Amino acid sequence: MLYRQRTLDTPHGMLQTPVLFPVSNVGKRSSDNTPEYTESIPDLSTAMVNARAIRNRDPQWQRILNGPSLREDIDVSGDTIIFADSGGYDFHTNEVDTTPAETLETQRQVEADIFGTVDLPLSRDNRKAENQRRISKSAELALGASEIHNGKEHLLASVHGYDPETVRNTIQYLEHNGEFDGYAVGSLVPIRTDYEKVTKIILAARRETNKHLHVYGLGGLTYQPLLLYLGVDSFDSSAFIRSAGNRNYLIPGFGGEPMKNIDNLSYLPCACPVCSSQDFDMVREDRDLLVQHNLWALALELRRFRYMVAAGEKIEEYLNLRFQGNKVTKRAFNIAKQQVRRLK
C-alpha cells in the first residue's frame, strides 16, 4: 500500500492529507450550489473552486473584489483551505481564453491556498494528435505559471495523459524545467470505467514524484479508497451534488442508490447527523439535505480509512471486505492491488 499522511502549511492554516476537496459551484444556479458544510463536518474544512468561472461571472466577481471574501460568498468558514483550479474543464471542447498570469491573479484575489495551472483536458473523441497538442500546451502553460509565481500558495502543475508513459514523461519535463509544489492529474473522469488504465496512470505519477499528488474529479465513493491505497494526497469531487440532483443516496461500499429503491425502508441506512435527525421523506424531498448526507458519506469514507491505518489494521483485508458488495469496485481494487504488488 502506498497510502501516506502529510501536513501542508498553507496561508489559511495547516492541511492534513490525504484530504477531499468538495467542489463548490460558485455562481451557478441554486440547484447546483453547495450548501454550507464546514461547520457541520469539522474535519472537512476544504473547498474546490473554478477560478475562471468566478472571474467571468459579474456581478459576483465585482462583489468579491469590493465586498465580502470568497469564503463569505460561498458560506464556508474563514479558515477553509481553498483549491482554485484554472477552470480547465471549460476548455475540454474550447480553446484557452486566459493566461497563466491572469489565472494566478484571480487565484490570489480569491485568496486560494492551492493553485492549479491552466490546462486543456483531453477527450476520448479527439484524434491522438489533438490530445498530444493539449498535453504539450498544458505543460507550456504550467511552466508559464512557474516563471511568475512567487507566493506562499502551493502551485500544482496540471498534467494530462491517457497512458502512464505520457504522464511520467510530462512530470519529468516539468520537474526539470519548472518549480512546482506538486502535480494534479486530470482527464481521468472520461475514462473512469477503465480501472486498469486509470490505476496505471496514477501509479506512474506517484512513482515519478514524491511531491503532493492531486487527482482531479475522482473523489467519489468508488475511487476514493483506491486513491488512498495508491498514495494520492488529495482529490476533489462533485459527485455528492450530481447524485443529489439525480435523487441518488450515496452508501459507502455500494455507490449511489436511487431514493425510489429504498422507499420501503422505515429508516435511512445511515447514522450521519442528517439522516439521524430527519425522516426519509424530508431527505428525499429536500435537495440540500440529500447533498449534505452525500457529502457526509464521502467524509466518512475518508475518516474510516484513516482510522483503519491508525489502528494498524490490515488495509487490504479491510478493502476486500469493503468492496465485497459491489462487483465494479471489487474489480477496481483487485486491479490496483495487482499493480501495487508489482512495485515490490
The domains of the chain are located at 6-244, 247-341
Which residue spans within 18-73 are E strands per DSSP? Answer: 19-22, 46-50
What per-residue confidence (pLDDT) applies to 106?
Answer: 95
Q: Are strands 81-85 and 114-116 parallel, antiparallel or unpaired?
A: parallel
Q: What is the DSSP string of 153-165?
A: SEEEEEE--SSHH
What per-residue confidence (pLDDT) applies to 28?
Answer: 58
Q: Are 167 and 159 in contact (CB under 8 A)?
A: yes
Cα–Cα distance between 131 and 122 in angstroms, integer? 6
Cα–Cα distance between 179 and 184 in angstroms, integer? 14
pLDDT in tens, 276-328: 998 888 888 888 899 999 999 999 999 989 999 999 989 999 888 888 777 77
The grid cell for 183 is: 502535480
What per-residue confidence (pLDDT) applies to 27?
Answer: 57
103: three-class secondary structure by DSSP: helix
Average pLDDT over residues 183-212: 94
- Average per-residue pLDDT in the chain? 89
- 33: pLDDT confidence band, cut at 50, 70 and 90? low
Closest to 90 in 3D by CA, of 50, 125, 137, 124: 50
Fold of 6-244: TIM Barrel (3.20.20)
Cα–Cα distance between 22 and 20 in angstroms, integer? 6
Q: Are 90 and 57 in contact (CB under 8 A)?
A: no
| pTM (predicted TM-score) | 0.93
DSSP annotation of 249: E
